[in-house]
A = this chain, B = another copy of it.
């Protein structure tokens, strides 16, 4: 059996937001799907160890932003590669709140949905949340980002970096690629990764 067959399923990419007990968080997921049309319901599967999952089990609501193809790797790394348990990911971003009180990040976003959970399914490592639309808006007519396009974009950054001189450096924690005007080697010693705030020593030459 070649289990990698499962990775050929095409996906989109989404910001998933929720608020519980005064804490709001947004993470990145790829498994959002419509499940019925009348009423309009969607499902999303979230890893149990994920902070957003913990909050969603308490809040019973969530927001989904459908990323468009112009979404930046820095934004995806910001919301997708750090945990809301350690970092307030919403602190320096333009966040709005939906009718259910869930945080929404609308930068490079094709559409937003606000969802009230009606069913949860225990899947061992993950919880599937199924819910009904409470609100929804189309934010742009741009092409939604697919997971394949996201990976191509990431690979493209690597290729460009390899071709470029001087050398490019990447944060090994959040994969943020430094692309400033000043050569990386000349940055001050107290430079920190703008995404995950790790010190300069966490950057590796690409």
- Check if A1 sits within 8 Å of B133, measured CB to CB: yes
Given A10-B10, A128-B35, is A41 in contact with B138 using a C-beta cutoff of 8 Å?
Answer: no
Q: Are B113 and A5 in contact (CB under 8 A)?
A: yes
B31-A9 in contact (CB<8A): no
Q: Are A6 and B34 in contact (CB under 8 A)?
A: yes
Q: Chain B residues near A41: list those with CB within 8 A.
A: 123
Most buried by B among A6, A8, A11: A8
B136 touching A6 by the CB < 8 A rule?
A: yes
Which interface class (under 10, 10 to 19, 20 to 34, 35 or more) fits A?
35 or more
- Cβ–Cβ contact A35 & B31, under 8 A: yes
Q: Is the CB of A31 within 8 A of B31?
A: no
- Any B CB within 8 A of the CB of A126: yes
Looking at A33, A112, A145, which has the most chain B CB atoms within 10 Å of its CB?
A33
Question: What are the residues of chain B within 8 A of A103 when measuring CB–CB?
Answer: none
Report whether B111 and A36 are in contact in the complex, using a CB–CB cutoff of 8 Å. Answer: no
Assess A9 versus B33: contact at CB under 8 Å? Given A43-B128, A136-B1: yes
Q: Would you call A121 an interface residue if the criterion is a C-beta within 8 Å of the partner chain's C-beta atoms?
A: yes
Which chain A residues in 93-144 approach chain B with CB under 8 Å?
110-113, 119, 121, 123-126, 128, 130, 133-138, 143-144
Q: Name A's B-contacting residues (CB within 8 A).
A: 1-12, 31-38, 40-43, 45, 66, 110-113, 119, 121, 123-126, 128, 130, 133-138, 143-146, 148
Q: A33-B43, A35-B123, A119-B121 are in contact. List 4 more A-B contacts (CB 8 A).
A: A2-B138, A36-B125, A38-B125, A43-B43
